[in-house]
A and B are shown apart, each in its own frame.
Chain A
Amino acid sequence: MTSHPNNPSNEPLLPILDQPSSRRTALKAAGAALGLAAFGKAVSPLMVIPENVSVDEFLQQHYKELTDDDKAKVFARLEAETKEDYGADVTISDPEAIPGVKFGYAINLSKCNGNGACMEACNKENNHHRGVDQSYIRVLEMSKGSMDMEQGSTTYDHTVPQDDKFYMPVQCQQCDNPPCVTVCPVEATWKEDDGIVVVDYNWCIGCRYCEAACPYHARRFNWEQPEIPAEEVNPDQGYLSNRVRPQGTMEKCHYCLHRTREGRAPACLEACPTGARVFGDMNDPDSDINYVLKNKRVFVLKEELGTQPSFFYFFD
């Protein structure tokens, strides 16, 4: 680089401010103007933000800070947006955790035959993006005689069940000590009183730290805006559960809380043709899940990590 004269005694000290314009300052100003214009052009795709994100949405507070009034407004706005974007009439509800209830889920590995009906039901119930076979559930095909997931596969496409295999569905384990909640920098995800870990899709900043932290591959990110044909949109939606998630945010299995908190079964259980799935309130002595917990030998995945799942496995 060549030298530049900057002897303070004869060089103007404030090159732009308060100085008669010289060739150099004029050039600098032109350069700065050009640079700014180019920058404006470069980031012009960002202009979709004001189109897609309304002021109300931008300023919306964390779920826990919303009053009932706020919620009513937010839900109405979301319903209108779904109508506009997907052409579907939906109702967004917000059923609260039932006091005293703690949900648990168990899978009978002797019965599960890997048919994948649960994954399909999950996809439909939860308004998942249709482009990919998205679902909160993954069914691992495992070799008999081994619990080593390393030997398992989720991408089998032969007929099921195979004689030398068994099948192990994995979804969110609704941990009592959930690493995903611990790591979230903005408290966008938390554990509800009935044991369900939820995400405020309107508060999540999309850092994907929770996805890195979850030991069960239970979290999914919205890499793009989900696409769902209008007639396939499930109109029965919960704010913290199956409403259509915005692009760039995290989502996960929520034990179908918009159903289960109203006494219905999770969609995956309802769809399971083998009856391998057992769901219910662990605090209720007469519930099916409690029967399983008391009478079967149940185990949890990756117990050594101390996540304390509310999701159990057993063999008959």
Chain B
Amino acid sequence: MSTTTPDAIASDAPEDLVRSYPRFIWWGLGEATNGGVGFYLWMFVLTAIALVGANAWAVQVADGMIVTNMTDHVSWGLYIANFTFFVGLAAGGVMMVIPAYLYDDEEMHKVVIFGEIVAIAAIIMCTLSVLVDLGRPDRFWHLLPYIGRVNFPVSMLTWDVLVLNGYLLINLHIVGYLLYMQFLGRRPNPKWYVPFVFLSIAWAISIHTVTAFLYCGLGGRPFWNTALLAPRFLASAFVSGPAFIILVMRILRVTTGYTAPVSAANTLIQIIRVSMTINLVMLASEIFTMFYTGGAHGASAHYLFFGLHGHHGLVPWMWTAIICNLIGTVFFFLPAALERGSIRIAACVLCIVGIWIEKGMGLIVPGFIPSTLHEIVEYTPSLTEWKVSAGIWAFGFMVLTVLLKMATAVFHSSGESAKPTA
């Protein structure tokens, strides 16, 4: 955005329009809710799923968490699993920003904003995933600084709340400012966004590191208590984030005709290749220590990969994840991945699914099995949990769709390269 020449914008700039920021947002929302039949159908389906989720959550609040399949033994389940994945997605969204600003990759500037939009939607999904996991959502205000009573700086969960909200604000500011300037036909002033862009890079790393510390700081859970957890989180985030953005760009191209520069996607694929390799190497070394040494650290891993004492609820999950990740990685290394073909799409989907399982059910649940007194109590999410989670995904996609439409509408209105398809 920042690279568009001032005159190109000036000629098409909507000079005579109301310029205030709230009005701009209102205008954007109006634009974002215009669309064809396909668009309305898509939003209708998402709304329906989100409503089913909202209803399931409301019942859960009324009847208690007993409607989930979580227990005193497995006290976190699908919600926190999703939360962990979303944090990665949000952190990965910023992977567009690093090449753009640190390496001055000009082409990347055009798509950076989409990465940040993905990050915004992902953070909203994170927050919702935590909210639905609270036994007393009516007391959420206890978590607010000054009004409540936050355990800062000792509790990692407090840190997580702070960094996630901070990350949301930073990204809202960058996206909002850049789009508004584009809308006004003015060149964005680097003073107002470049520092924030650099901040968001550091911050993205912090949100995922803090989330990893949430688990690896617990001495009583040997499966999580490994220093490799945070780096593994980052490596997988830098796969799932860019893979997701590639898919989003593809959908944008098909639906709105907004075409991202080829080199941008190729940079992302290079990032994925490196990150996925690092991720797999770290996974392999974790597996080695867990199985070669055995003991308490090995029990959860045993349960996860092969089952333990006749219980193997997670075995199919984990092997699915490994197969998805391996095939996805191979696909990414094929030359065909650089083309806008089906191999690239398949590679993205496979890696996203693989990482969703690996960072979610494959990480959170085995931390609780066997329990700290070495009892084995298994866990499979209840229908309520699936509904609530689906609702959060649907709502996240609604947010994503609206934000993407707002962004493309701004580009259209300011005469950016995008050409609407028929």
Contact = CB atoms under 8 A, between A and B. Distances in A.
Interface string A216-240: 1101111111000000000000000
A63 to B, nearest CB: 10
A3 B72 contact: no
A179 B151 CA distance: 13
B218 A212 contact: yes
Contacts of A140: 373
A186 B161 CA distance: 11
B58 A42 contact: yes
Interface size, A (range): 35 or more
B18 A14 contact: yes
B55 interface: yes
Interface stretch (B63-71, B194-202, B283-291, B315-323): B63-71
A43 B413 contact: no
B149 A62 contact: yes
Contact of A187 (B135, B149, B413): B149
A211 B373 contact: no
B417 interface: no
Contact of B142 (A41, A138, A188, A214): A188
Contact of A14 (B26, B38, B130): B26
A15 interface: yes
B23 A45 contact: no
A182 B154 contact: yes
Nearest to B414: A8
B31 interface: yes
B61 A58 contact: no
A207 B296 CA distance: 26
Contacts of B26: 14, 16-17
Given A14-B27, A150-B299, A212 B76 contact: yes
Contacts of B420: 3-4
A6 B64 contact: no
A203 B149 contact: yes
Interface stretch (B2-10, B226-234, B334-342, B364-372): B364-372
B359 interface: no
Nearest to A18: B18
Contacts of B18: 13-14
B193 to A, nearest CB: 24
A225 B64 contact: yes
Interface residues of B, number: 82
Interface string A163-197: 00000001000000001001111111000000000
Nearest to B44: A31
B25 to A, nearest CB: 11
B51 interface: yes
B373 A249 contact: no
Contacts of B66: 223-224
Contact of A58 (B65, B138, B370): B138
Nearest to A208: B75
Contacts of B133: 207-208
A39 B33 contact: no
B35 interface: yes
Contacts of B136: 204-206, 246, 248-249
Given A4-B34, A183-B156, A45 B17 contact: no
A185 B39 contact: no
Contacts of A220: 72
A217 B51 contact: no
Contact of A215 (B62, B142, B220): B220
Interface string B249-266: 000000110000000000
Contacts of A138: 373
A315 to B, nearest CB: 20
A2 B47 contact: no
A179 B218 contact: yes
A166 to B, nearest CB: 15
Contact of A221 (B135, B156, B218): B135
Given A138-B373, A183-B218, A212-B75, A46 B61 contact: yes
A15 B34 contact: yes
A8 B33 CA distance: 15
B155 interface: yes
A13 B220 contact: no
A13 B14 contact: yes
Contacts of A184: 151, 155, 157
Interface string B266-280: 000000000000000
A208 B220 CA distance: 15
B373 A152 contact: yes
Nearest to A134: B72
Interface in B1-51: 14, 17-18, 23, 26-27, 30-31, 33-39, 42, 47, 51
**CB-based closest 9 A-B pairs:** A206-B135, A215-B220, A248-B135, A2-B36, A15-B30, A224-B64, A185-B157, A45-B58, A42-B55
Given A9-B14, A183-B155, A213-B220, 18 more contacts: A4-B35, A4-B36, A42-B51, A42-B58, A43-B57, A46-B58, A150-B370, A154-B375, A186-B143, A186-B150, A204-B136, A205-B142, A205-B143, A206-B139, A215-B219, A224-B63, A249-B136, A250-B135
Interface of A: 1-4, 6-9, 13-17, 24, 28, 35, 38-39, 41-46, 48-49, 53, 58, 62, 65, 138, 140, 149-150, 152-155, 170, 179, 182-188, 203-209, 211-217, 219-225, 246-250, 302, 305-307
6 contacts: A4-B34, A6-B34, A206-B139, A212-B76, A221-B65, A221-B135
